[in-house]
Chains A and B, each alone.
Chain A
Amino acid sequence: DGGITQSPKYLFRKEGQNVTLSCEQNLNHDAMYWYRQDPGQGLRLIYYSQIVNDFQKGDIAEGYSVSREKKESFPLTVTSAQKNPTAFYLCASSPDRGGYGYTFGSGTRLTVV
């Protein structure tokens, strides 16, 4: 079955370390997105990519970086510059620029200690 796979489900890191969250899709979708979710704050867009080798900043891009070298993959790196990285991270994809709806992965819970 087609879908989006986020790994790992849970991730623990020490403060000051960079960490990369994986997102892979086999839906042949062009666009991919990263969201951060904190209690009571809904979904906040970090980065998105509408085509391979291109991506744009979302609303809260500071302290994060991404790459889109393959259509199937859109990894997110949480850098040491991100002041409060502990959160639930969601990856999504869509067939085109977005208006037809997103398919979401099951998320990664990152805890920085």
Chain B
Amino acid sequence: AQSVTQPDIHITVSEGASLELRCNYSYGATPYLFWYVQSPGQGLQLLLKYFSGDTLVQGIKGFEAEFKRSQSSFNLRKPSVHWSDAAEYFCAVGREDDKIIFGKGTRLHILP
């Protein structure tokens, strides 16, 4: 069955520290991959997406993600977090002809 796993429900990092949010997927073919961010009480905003080509993808707000086919992973990274990065982050997978499947999310907390 197709699925997306975000193993960390909560992550806490200090402001200025680096960040990595994990995402693993199970899919029948090479999927399209996405990371979304959600601030409290708001909708989801697309951070970045991978369809094909270079496996290191740059997104908005200084985020990047790397697709690793051998590990079925698409981890999100940021070299130095800001207090404004505190939010919930969703990994998602899809294909051209199918609906997107979302992970359950990782809530990021930032320590001052």
Interface residues in chain A, defined as those with a beta carbon under 8 Å from any beta carbon in chain B: 4, 6, 33, 40-43, 45, 48, 88, 90, 92, 94, 96-107, 109
Q: How far is the CB of B85 from chain A (nearest CB, A)?
A: 19
CA distance A100 to B52 in the complex (A): 12
CA distance A42 to B36 in the complex (A): 12
Kindly supply a per-residue 1/0 record for chain B positions 91-112, scoring 1 wherever the CB is within 8 Å of any chain A CB and 0 otherwise: 0001111111011110000000
Contacts of B51 in A (CB 8 A): 100
Contact A43/B90 with A98-B98, A98-B100, A99-B96 known, Cβ cut-off 8 Å: yes
Task: List the 10 closest A-B pairs by CB distance, nearest first.
Answer: A42-B104, A104-B43, A99-B94, A99-B96, A104-B44, A99-B95, A98-B99, A106-B43, A43-B102, A99-B32
Give the size category of B's interface with A: 20 to 34
Interface residues in chain B, defined as those with a beta carbon under 8 Å from any beta carbon in chain A: 9, 32, 34, 36, 41-46, 49, 51, 90, 94-100, 102-105
CA distance A88 to B36 in the complex (A): 17
Total cross-chain contacts (CB, 8 A) = 62
CB-based contact A107/B102 at 8 Å: no
Contacts of A96 in B (CB 8 A): 96
CB-based contact B102/A42 at 8 Å: yes
Contacts of A102 in B (CB 8 A): 44, 46, 100
Contact A101/B34 with A90-B44, A106-B43 known, Cβ cut-off 8 Å: yes
Contacts of A107 in B (CB 8 A): 41-43
